Amino acid sequence: MRSITFIVFLFVSSLLFGQAYEAPILHCLQVDATDDVTLTWQAPADPSNDFVEYHIWRKETFFNDDLGTIPNINTTSFIDVGASANEVELYFVEAVYDSAGIEIRVSSELMSTINPSANGFGNRVELDWNTPTNTLLDSIYSVFIVQLNYTGIWESIDTLNYSDTSYVYFSEICPTFPDVDVDIDFRIILLDTFGCTSISVQRDDVTPLFDNNPPTPPVIETVTVDTALQRALICWFPSPEGDVQGYRVLNVLEEEIALTTDPSVISAVDFTSNIVLSSQGYLVVARDTCGGNETSADDGIPHYTMNLDVEFLKCDQNSRLDWNPYVNWEGGVANYVVFGSLDGTALQVLDTIPGDQTTYLHMDVPLDVDYVYMVKAVSINGFKPSISPRTAVFTAYPEVPEFTYLANVNVLGPTSIELKALVEPGAASTRYQFEKLDQFGEQYEPIASFDQSLADNDGFLTAVDLDVRPADRIYDYRVSVIDSCGNVASVSDTSSNVRASISVNSSVRENIVSWNPYVIWDGSVLQYNIYRVENGIAGQLLATVPSNILSYSDVVDSIQDYLGDAQYCYVIEAVESPNSFGLAQFSRSNIICGTQEPIIFIPNAITPNDDGLNDFFTPVAGYYDRIDGYSMQIYDRWGMLVFETDDPFRVWRAEDGDGMVQEGMYIYHIKFRTGDGQQFERYGDITVIIPDSE
């Protein structure tokens, strides 16, 4: 279908219906080797879903040629097959919308194919071309890229501003066979951030003529380091021929890294090199003027940068330097000079070593400084020296945690003390050694050692000392920080267990508990709690005393105490005030026990008349835990056994085997042993009074 009139942007829809329709944005025209043209455009936004179809137009002189329609808004490319793009072709893309039954058409800007002309003159080709648009899209890179192809692979040879539409190419191509013409193809490309590329019509069969005499291969003088750029610097001796046009510098993979077009320039910097990470190797080839060849890379001898590796041996406080030897100098290396610089000062010569040695040990390096090293290779034949890249090392000694806090010394049992240390997170290379002062007070001995990684979620490491008698002795503890070199980097505070002791005064039924002060906490001791221990567990809190009170008197004269055990046990708990770590710890002492002397009450008369008062005879004991080996015998005045029992709960009701005894005086003999092993034996008389019955 052809349209005589040119389609223009329509804005009527926005005026009539309040809806402005977007036009497609034509980004790229790409001409292939068969002159087919691929159009690539950006789809318009269609929030109201009114899109109907695209029309693809090629603008002719007197009419517009409708190349086809596309009903899918997401299809954004079209190929104009057989476009005969040897001439400049103009295209635009039209979007058709249905707005409430009214057809609305909006079109992209016109874009033309790029159509270069190429004319060869000996070793020179002159190129001219047109710009594809009058208005440069923001997405289009504002540069043309000139490409050529003579090997079957397109390669970029230059980049020009968008306003530059001509270019002169001086051929660097040498034919494989002498006096044979080389066909060169050219094209122009224009990149677009939309993701497509405009490619011009390809200009074929541009045929310059060349000669075939290569220059003498250049000889590399040195490969070193440009100290300002910290990149590889390649220096060479020039080829002697007068028709040398320039040089190409190649890496050992024969990839070009520098090109010179001035034969007097005999050095180049590899701006892509990373000489700090690895040694880089280079070759140099010469290029002649039109008619000559390029020297073969196979004829050159590669030279390499020196790569310097420095390792700081922190535990020995030495730096070890290693580098690859400088090779392929005629005559070889005379010596290496080692330089060093401390904290940004000028490099100073540290040593000069033989040319066959590529390691050096710098001893007694100061700690915690920036030290920079460099090595210079000196040739035997006086060539320019080669230097390594400067390699810096920070002479850090193993990091030491900022804090190590022995937070708690806590008695667990009669032969165990628990130690808890708060350690700094992240000190992974650090070990923490719990230590105890020996019995002579002379040196600390290790108990246990842990990596920081074994700390719990709260940052605590815990050790248990099982070689202790906390009831007999006060133990001093500390934590030593062992760095990754195995040296003691720091030592924590020293802390001791709380040892409790007891003094029993049975005459007043008093137990006096005493203890030593807890030392040392980051926070001070807030108070001491005194607990009564029952069944091995701290039960009743008897009292809380301030930190300057180190004893407590427990008077056990209540009826509950009298009827209870003779043994009383206690534990002391030291409580820390909140410290700088936001914590408050506690420390418990050993359990200490004291035994009150039992009290025995024996009545001297009974009245067995079942009135509930003094009806039977039995001893009453207090302050004991149990009675063993109990016996009680009752004798009359003539020494005859009246009553006998070994049951401490059986009483005598003034009876013998025949019934109630006669009123009068009787003799008792009582024996027993308390739970703590005390033996008791009592003799005495008991009077039986039989009241008159009413």
Mean pLDDT calculated for residue range 395-404: 83
Residue at 213 is within a domain? no
Residue at 252 is within a domain? yes
Last residue of a domain, one of 287, 304, 321: 304
**Which among 88, 101, 118, 7 has a CA at the least distance from the CA of 54?**
7
User: Residue 211 above 60 pLDDT?
Assistant: no
Residue at 211 is within a domain? no
Dig out the tokens for 630 from the structure. 């109990």
**Which among 592, 574, 536 has a CA at the least distance from the CA of 410?**
574
Do 376 and 315 lie in one domain? The reply is yes
Mean pLDDT calculated for residue range 250-262: 88
For the stretch 67-85, pLDDT in tens is 999 999 999 999 999 886 5
Measured torsion, CA atoms of residues 75, 79, 80, 83, in degrees rounded to the nearest 10: 150
Mean pLDDT calculated for residue range 484-491: 88
Residue at 694 is within a domain? no
For the stretch 607-644, pLDDT in tens is 998 888 888 998 887 666 677 889 999 999 898 999 99
Do 570 and 656 lie in one domain? The reply is no
Q: How confident is the model at residue 102 (pLDDT cuts 50, 70, 90)?
A: very high
Dig out the tokens for 389 from the structure. 């890249």
Best-predicted range by mean pLDDT among 157-161, 183-187, 289-293, 396-400? 157-161
pLDDT value of residue 350: 97
Q: How far is CA 70 from the centre of its chain?
A: 54
Angstrom distance (rounded) from CA 571 to CA 537: 9
Residues 366 and 322: beta-carbon distance below 8 Å: no
Do 26 and 86 lie in one domain? The reply is yes
Do 108 and 26 lie in one domain? The reply is yes
pLDDT value of residue 3: 42
Residue at 570 is within a domain? yes
Residue at 95 is within a domain? yes
pLDDT value of residue 11: 38
User: Residue 385 above 80 pLDDT?
Assistant: yes
**Low-confidence winner among 43-47, 271-275, 410-414 (lowest mean pLDDT):** 271-275
Last residue of a domain, one of 364, 394, 424: 394
User: Residue 563 above 60 pLDDT?
Assistant: no
Q: How confident is the model at residue 562 (pLDDT cuts 50, 70, 90)?
A: very low
pLDDT value of residue 10: 40
Mean pLDDT calculated for residue range 648-655: 91
Tell me the CATH number at 457.
2.60.40
How many domains, in total, are found in the chain?
A: 7
* More confident site: 62 or 53: 53
Mean pLDDT calculated for residue range 397-408: 85
Residue 373 bridge partners (DSSP): 340, 391
Percent of the chain scoring above 70 in pLDDT? 89
User: Residue 486 above 90 pLDDT?
Assistant: no
Q: How confident is the model at residue 572 (pLDDT cuts 50, 70, 90)?
A: very high
pLDDT value of residue 12: 39
Q: How confident is the model at residue 175 (pLDDT cuts 50, 70, 90)?
A: low
Residue 53 bridge partners (DSSP): 96
For the stretch 129-145, pLDDT in tens is 999 998 888 888 888 88
Do 278 and 327 lie in one domain? The reply is no
Angstrom distance (rounded) from CA 116 to CA 243: 31
Q: How confident is the model at residue 214 (pLDDT cuts 50, 70, 90)?
A: confident
pLDDT value of residue 73: 96
User: Residue 570 above 60 pLDDT?
Assistant: yes
**Which among 490, 522, 496, 487 has a CA at the least distance from the CA of 437?**
496
Q: How confident is the model at residue 17 (pLDDT cuts 50, 70, 90)?
A: very low
| DSSP string over 508-576 | TTEEEEEEPPP---SSPEEEEEEEEEETTEEEEEEEEEETT--EEEEE--SHHHHHS-SEEEEEEEEEE
Tell me the CATH number at 244.
2.60.40.10
Do 127 and 201 lie in one domain? The reply is yes
Show the domain range for 539.
Answer: 500-595
Do 241 and 264 lie in one domain? The reply is yes
Do 165 and 86 lie in one domain? The reply is no
Residue 377 bridge partners (DSSP): 336, 386
Q: How confident is the model at residue 33 (pLDDT cuts 50, 70, 90)?
A: confident
**Which among 419, 422, 330, 342 has a CA at the least distance from the CA of 380?**
330
**Which among 284, 280, 314, 312 has a CA at the least distance from the CA of 299?**
284
Q: Which residue has the tokens 């880089």?
A: 280
* More confident site: 350 or 273: 350
User: Residue 177 above 80 pLDDT?
Assistant: no
pTM: 0.50
Is residue 667 exposed (0-12), middle (13-18) or buried (19+ Cβ within 10 Å)? middle
Do 529 and 557 lie in one domain? The reply is yes
Mean pLDDT of the chain: 87
Residue at 98 is within a domain? yes
pLDDT value of residue 209: 45
pLDDT value of residue 291: 46
* More confident site: 522 or 474: 474
Q: How confident is the model at residue 371 (pLDDT cuts 50, 70, 90)?
A: very high
For the stretch 294-327, pLDDT in tens is 777 778 899 999 999 999 998 899 999 999 999 9
List C-alpha distances in Å: 212 to 209, 242, 248.
Answer: 10, 15, 18
Do 410 and 474 lie in one domain? The reply is yes
Last residue of a domain, one of 462, 488, 514: 488
User: Residue 561 above 50 pLDDT?
Assistant: yes
Residue at 70 is within a domain? yes
Do 586 and 625 lie in one domain? The reply is no
Do 88 and 171 lie in one domain? The reply is no
Angstrom distance (rounded) from CA 605 to CA 654: 10
pLDDT value of residue 207: 61
Question: E strands along 150-255, which residues?
Answer: 155-161, 166-170, 184-191, 197-199, 203-206, 219-226, 231-237, 244-251
pLDDT value of residue 612: 86
pLDDT value of residue 7: 37
